[in-house]
Structure 1
Amino acid sequence: MFTTTGSRGLDKAPLSKGLLLVLSGLTVVLNLLPQYNHLFTYSLQAITLQHQVWRLVCGRLICLDLKDTFCNSLLIYNFRILERRFGSRKFASFLFGTWVLTALVDFLLSEAFHYLFDYQVSELPAGLLGPVFSLFVPFYSSIPKVPVTQLLGQISITNKSLVYIVGLQLLTSSPFMWLVALSGLVSGKLYHGNALGVQRLLFVPRWLSRVGAFVLEPLFSGPPPPNEPPLGMGATLDIQRQQRMDLHDQQVLLAQFHQARRNHRPPQNGLMNWNRFFPSLRHRGQNLPPEPQPHPSPQQLHPTAPPLLEPTAPPLLEPTAPPLVNTPVAEEQVARLMEMGFSRIDVQDALRASNNDINVATNFLLQHLG
């Protein structure tokens, strides 16, 4: 019933894959060596009273609870779509900036809680939880939701529902996880909105990004996922029908592409005109030009004898691509898709191809330009 965002696998997301493997592996090691767990606790009291500033680093990287590690890893896996949209350097800058901001916001929220309720928060859940919660801000604003099904006929299930459910599960795992989540959301809003120019102050330098790409990509890069995933044996009838419809649409688009290559010259400067290759999917078979009727011969006008009728087999119809049409695009939808990082030309061509259906255009852009 639930689907994840983006294509399968961790292709073009080396940072997300590295975080999943390294942080999960360190959590397993600490659970096998519990005598070292006290070095990685996120103790606010030890930081303020005993001046153990190093806990701001050790206590905010590795989760000590396996359940928190599982939910945190599942969120990082789904947020890999942000790394594909923004790029690894911008994605790393967002994590680094929010990691620094959450350290400050954690203390401010704990002091506000102590002032309002007269209760001192001495320890918070350990791990890379604040920056992961901050990723909900660009995920909510940048990734469009695509309806999947209806629950009880009223509740709409989208491709983003699973991510929000996992976030709620992580939110209820410990008593003060809500404080970490609130700190992450506030920090994510500040960094995503570039409040006080924090993006110019907290970012990953270009040279460090190149070093990371040189080190991480050979270690964590993998083969790209297949273009067309196979139909699941255990899928429901509705899901199988939807998958077959998607496969049929992709075959039609490929047929249009080959037809356009046969009928048109390749564009100059390496630019592809999608408007010629991928027309509207909603008006297939419409606005077809009338077929020319042949002029009858004198023998056909005045037949002398009726022709003998012989049983013939019906002609074989070869699949052809629908006619190429132009459709005006909506500027509001163009702006929404451009916020995801796509160029205006690609967005306009994708919207024309889908007849201004933003869900179809989004899926097409994610599959072919992701």
Structure 2
Amino acid sequence: MFTTTGSRGLYKAPLSKALLLVLSGLSVLLTFLPQYHHLLTYSLLAITEQRQVWRLVFGRLICLDLKDTFCSSLLIYNFRIFERRFGSRKFASFLFGTWVLTALVDLLLAKVFHFLFEYQVDELPAGLLGPVFSLFVPFYSSIPKVPVTPLLGQISITNKSLMYIVGLQLLTSSPFMWLVALGGVVSGMLYHYNTLGIQRLLFVPQWLSHSGAYLLEPLFSGPPPTTDSPPGMGATLDVQRQQRMDVLDQELLLAQFNQARRNQRQGGLINWNRLFPSLRHRRQNHHPEPQQPHPSPQQPHPSPQQPHPYAPPVQLEPTAPPLDNLPVAEDQVARLVEMGFSRLDAQEALRASNNDINMATNFLLQHLG
């Protein structure tokens, strides 16, 4: 995966795990029971004319196409980062709010399409597709792009490219999937930006959240990631060596971060000076100084009182300017604040990473989520 979603697995994402297991399992089960497909279709004609309102529930939960099931499951797995970031209750509120909004937006878009093109949309793809497409709104606005590799010179593959490719594949899986996708994006924008105070109207109550945590979390809670598990092996020795260096560097940062949280907390701020030294001087360490030639036997040996003529000069580590004096861009601070971090931590992270928002964001997502 190119996406930066923190630790692997479904740790701290019980709701995402429940959606993956339950909805995907039901979708696979229904492939062996085609005689019941007509009961779970998302038929707008049956809803509006025959008043089969129950189709708004069952027709918008279970996918009847395995291709849609696979793509939506892959997107839900990667979007689990929002459950880790905001908590299961807020993540569930987002899914519930957009699920309700997409029901209204789908009917409205179908009416508009019929009015403009005089074509009646009778049926839409079934499944939890509207909320899945709505998650692209916070994904686009909150997760920064990190370049991975250039492609054809001008095009750059980022950590978000694979997600958009999977979304495009899901978008083109059926003729009217674009209508569901458009309804999901519109609903996601309305809920994400809290238009007309929608978040205060459509949310998961506290008692329901506690009940779900008490009953379902023991079943769907994932184990914590292990630090001793090896990463995916690269194709060459250089790639494998670089992967090992990255893992060691992440473990060093995590150890320094834990020590900083125990001993260096001052007014809620983290001592970021101790978290980034290996990253800030990493490039210097890759370019060691050239070796000096050895002295010839004919040359006199220097006295202990005098410095060796061939000894390299002692270089003191350059003193970095105080982080408080480094300016930070307000738009980068705002982007980190929108992801749920405090303004002070966002400013300190940008100062410590020399205003590199990708480095600061990746570290915050992996170790402060």
TM interval, shorter chain, is 0.7 to 0.9
In structure 2, the CA distance between the partners of 1:100 and 1:322, relative to structure 1 (3 Å rule), is farther
| Counterpart position of 2:93 | 93
Displacement of 1:82? 1.2
| Counterpart position of 2:289 | none
- CA-based RMSD: 2.8
| Counterpart position of 1:118 | 118
Paired residue type of 1:3: F
Paired residue type of 2:274: F
Say if 1:42 and 1:56, in contact at 8 Å, map to a contact too.
yes
Indicate whether 1:131 and 2:123 are aligned: no
Displacement of 1:306? 7.1
| Counterpart position of 1:169 | 169
**Structure 1 residues 242-294: Cα deviation after superposition (integer angstroms, max 9, x where no partner):** 53442353365468669x88xxx9346795632342245335799xxxxxxxx
Paired residue type of 1:18: A
In structure 2, the CA distance between the partners of 1:238 and 1:115, relative to structure 1 (3 Å rule), is farther
Paired residue type of 2:148: V
| Counterpart position of 2:65 | 65
| Counterpart position of 1:179 | 179
Displacement of 1:45? 0.7
TM-score (norm 1): 0.82
| Counterpart position of 2:339 | 340
In structure 2, the CA distance between the partners of 1:217 and 1:269, relative to structure 1 (3 Å rule), is farther
Identity of aligned residues (%): 75
Unaligned runs of 5+ in 2: 285-300, 305-316
Pairs within 5 Å for 1:340-359:
340-359=339-358
| Counterpart position of 2:272 | 275
Paired residue type of 1:347: A
The separation in 1 between residues aligned to 2:204 and 2:41, in whole angstroms, is 26
Pairs within 5 Å for 1:146-157:
146-157=146-157
Say if 1:148 and 1:157, in contact at 8 Å, map to a contact too.
yes
Displacement of 1:322? 9.1
What secondary structure, in the 3-state scheme, does the structure 1 residue paired with 2:2 have? coil
Indicate whether 1:43 and 2:39 are aligned: no
The separation in 1 between residues aligned to 2:121 and 2:43, in whole angstroms, is 9
| Aligned residue pair count | 335
Say if 1:124 and 1:180, in contact at 8 Å, map to a contact too.
yes
Pairs within 5 Å for 1:192-231:
192-227=192-227, 230-231=230-231
What secondary structure, in the 3-state scheme, does the structure 2 residue paired with 1:157 have? strand
**Structure 1 residues 275-322: Cα deviation after superposition (integer angstroms, max 9, x where no partner):** 342245335799xxxxxxxxxxxxxxxxxx9769xxxxxxxxxxxx99
Displacement of 1:206? 1.0
Comparing 118-127 and 207-216, the one that deviates more:
207-216
Say if 1:279 and 1:322, in contact at 8 Å, map to a contact too.
no
Unaligned runs of 5+ in 1: 287-304, 309-320
Displacement of 1:323? 6.8
TM-score (norm 2): 0.83
Say if 2:269 and 2:344, in contact at 8 Å, map to a contact too.
no
Say if 1:275 and 1:326, in contact at 8 Å, map to a contact too.
no
The separation in 1 between residues aligned to 2:254 and 2:117, in whole angstroms, is 63
